[in-house]
Structure 1
């Protein structure tokens, strides 16, 4: 059982599973070339790749998009973020997948308008990853300048390896959690979805 391996071996297995997704590898490579401050490829494309490989499916099956977060608090305007988004559109052209790029320093400016809940300002990209609806989603991957993979996984890998979705009621709502988990269970029926706390 992967979740019973020592933590360093779990990390190695996690990276090996991600390496099976060729689109993900290309996104990470091109993202590294963009050199965005504090960037991570995050969330769904990571844990869903693991689920796919462990379930014997194509590594990229069912993955809707690849979320690329960065953190730049020097200019919180939409215009500055849009410049980065347009540069990313060029960088990821022809990749065969949608890559969504967002400056996590700006999230608090629009989150409540979109989701109906206030979001305190993030202080770094890791802050944003920590606020995902499920602890299973709290993952980030980037390539360091020396070529090493840096993985951020504040809740470890056990739930990902065991197909468990555990709520993370830091930000978000029961309804949003339910909507995401219903879709995930349709795509990966063996998931165990733990209930949102009362």
Structure 2
């Protein structure tokens, strides 16, 4: 099947394919360039704006089909106040005011302060934006990109890129994210029927926690 032509290739080849696909979208490259100009500490454009547009490209759907917003992570532990993050958000709102869908910027150093109120689970403080990506509910979502000063694309993909290119939503058992994994998987299948959803194994989180404790 044509949309799976990059599935199961070596990571280096998949990374090259990812970069070529992203570069094929001038609008996405513009967002990456604008994000760079914000000069945010340890920032990445993450998740849907990247992997969903890979799926759009490979299935010949429109740019940003199925993408609700563009998420940018940054990490600044120097000031964990709401006011400091809000100032960055407002600056980003000006930079991305004409972008569709909207761009959302969040300081990953603050996530542990509000996570339990929103999701009902404890969340230990992050040490970097990369660690925030590591904890996504599905390893498929765990991808970040940014544009360096030489206009080269950098990729962060802690679990590789094969799940993206295989159109497969696969659980990440770092946290108890079963509901989020299935909700996001169901939404993905509505937008991209080619996607398969790997069910959450009920005992997988317990087994992982035991391994970490040993």
The alignment's TM-score, normalised by the length of structure 2, stands at 0.89
Q: Is the 8 A contact 1:50 1:59 kept in 2?
A: no
In the aligned structure 1, how far is the partner of 2:183 from the partner of 2:153? 32
- Deviation string, structure 1 residues 15-72 (Cα, Å, up to 9, x no partner): 1112233332121110000010000000111110001111111122111110000000
Q: Is the 8 A contact 1:21 1:60 kept in 2?
A: no
Q: Is the 8 A contact 1:37 1:72 kept in 2?
A: yes
Tell me the C-alpha RMSD between the 2 structures: 1.2
Cα 1:172/1:22, change in 2 over 3 Å:
farther
- Deviation string, structure 1 residues 137-166 (Cα, Å, up to 9, x no partner): 000001122222110011111111110110
Which one is further off, 20-29 or 126-135? 20-29
Residues 1:106 and 2:107 are matched in the alignment: no
2:100 aligned partner: 96
1:172, distance to aligned residue in structure 2 (A): 4.3
2:49 aligned partner: 45
1:116, distance to aligned residue in structure 2 (A): 0.4
Query: Is there any run of 5+ residues in structure 1 with no aligned partner, and where?
Result: none
Residues 1:9 and 2:1 are matched in the alignment: no
SS at match of 1:180: helix
Moved over 4 A (4+): none
Count of residue pairs brought into register by the alignment:
198
Q: Is the 8 A contact 1:88 1:101 kept in 2?
A: yes
In the aligned structure 2, how far is the partner of 1:146 from the partner of 1:23? 19
Which of 135, 139, 142 is the matching residue for 1:135? 139
1:181 aligned partner: 185
SS at match of 2:114: helix
Which one is further off, 56-65 or 126-135? 56-65
The alignment's TM-score, normalised by the length of structure 1, stands at 0.96
In the aligned structure 2, how far is the partner of 1:23 from the partner of 1:78? 30
1:58 aligned partner: 62
